[in-house]
Amino acid sequence: MQNRHRLPLVALSFLSITVAAAPAPADTARPAARKASLVKVQPSEAEVTRARAHVATIPGLVRATSEDQVDGPSVIPSVSVARKLPASPKLNVAKFGEAVHGAFKDNVRGYALGLRKNGQPVLTLQWDRARTATPALNWSLDTRMHVASVSKLITAIVATKMLDERGLSFDTKIGGYLPAYWNEGQNANDLTFRKLLTHQAAFTVYGGDYPSFKQQIESGVSTNPADGIGYTNGSFSLVRVLTATMTGAVNKNYWFSFPVSPAQEEQLNDAIWDAKTTDAFLAYAQAKVFTPSGVSNAGAVPTVVGAHAFSNKGDNQGWNSGDVSTQLGGAGFRLSVNEVLDVMGTFRRKGTIVSPAKAKESIEARLGIDRIIDTPAGKIYEKNGRWQNGAGPNNDCEQSVAVYLQEDMEVVVFVNSWLPMQASLRNTIRDAYIANLE
């Protein structure tokens, strides 16, 4: 029987008041010129061992166990937008915090919220358990959790940096950077980074693992985004391969050759490509985004001091979502509230990743952003994420939301269980923000 005993408050502080249309089939025969361009590479003994042990997908993972962008209601009661506000309303930080804490404290296993202005903390909320298993852990802004699709925001920042340092636009086509051994289907070469990073690529395959996005490129895509399923992990996870080839970390012409049957060789070659491009993406993200932001050792592998996911307030068992490296790009990063805020603030203001003007262009282009929301204070830019271990109402859930607000503010929230009635985390934060503009 679940124990519903609630821990005392820990650190509540105010520091300053579809069915998709099928694309045309791909060419099944690789052109002779393409075959001739392949460079056969003999993998090292360590790479052979890694390839043979490689698992390309998370066993049992289906779309229902990851994310669903259909929102439930907000926990915050709606507030009339007709109320009188000054011409340039400001956020009442204290009331915003009270509204969020009131909505969450009796309803979730635990949560952490950080709000910064000009990069400086103005609100910290930390409540209840991040994990109950030994070692038990209370929430803090430094507790890492799988941020699920907030990873897409990070991936968009990585892509913005990579393109910017080469003088390339968001509308750069990906065809020149795809692995040469892939048989690209119709229109795949003409996809742009902008389309990938705004869910406009007309993907009909949802998954964020290597076999899924490779299959998508080889199947081809429609030129009409409406022919796809809209929101996908694969269009972002593909960026990890493009990062490896564009930066030269992995030569796009490589074919890793094994003395086995052709079918086995294809599988082992895929495995090495998957592993090496994931390593290259992580290395580039660390060097170009995380390190300039003061974030160390970012990755997808859980530690013994990370948050677990729970089903509800009274759940004391919890679930460790495990190593999500196969999903990196579309999901996968394990970060803390402070670390996500560090990256957002560095990207937006400091100029050590890209210039503030380029960052503004990326954010306003909705790269890695789900919604641009008009509020009485101006536009806000939001990305949410959710990861769960089943499709039913009683499964375990970890969820997050990151929002660029007006007044040079950013807010990040982690919740490691469902909200009541599976309400929407992102809509709750949005409504708390709008309700407390004065």
Give the pLDDT of residue 32: 52
Report the CATH number of the 12-16+67-147+307-361+368-435 domain. Answer: 3.40.710
Asked if residues 286 and 76 have their Cβ atoms less than 8 Å apart, the reply is no
What is the model's pLDDT at position 37?
Answer: 83
- Contact of 425 with 399, CB cutoff 8 Å: yes
d(CA 192, CA 159): 12
**Res 83: pLDDT:** 75
Domain ranges of the chain: 12-16+67-147+307-361+368-435, 32-62+156-286
Tell me: the pLDDT tens digits for 167-203?
999 999 999 999 999 999 999 999 999 999 999 999 9
Residues 6+ apart with CB under 8 A from 300: 146, 323, 324, 325, 327, 328, 332, 333, 334
Structure confidence at residue 62 (pLDDT): 58
Asked whether 348 and 231 are in contact (CB, 8 A), the reply is no
Contact in structure between 122 and 108 (CB atoms under 8 Å): no
Strand partners, 18: none
CA angle 256, 257, 260 (to 5 degrees): 135
Q: Which parts of the chain sit beneath pLDDT 50?
A: 1-29, 31, 64-68
Q: Quick one: CA dihedral 297, 303, 305, 311, positive or negative?
A: positive
DSSP label of 431? H
Tens-place pLDDT, residues 349-389? 999 999 999 999 999 999 999 999 999 999 999 999 999 98
Q: For residues 420 and 311, what is the distance between their CA atoms, to the nearest angstrom?
A: 10
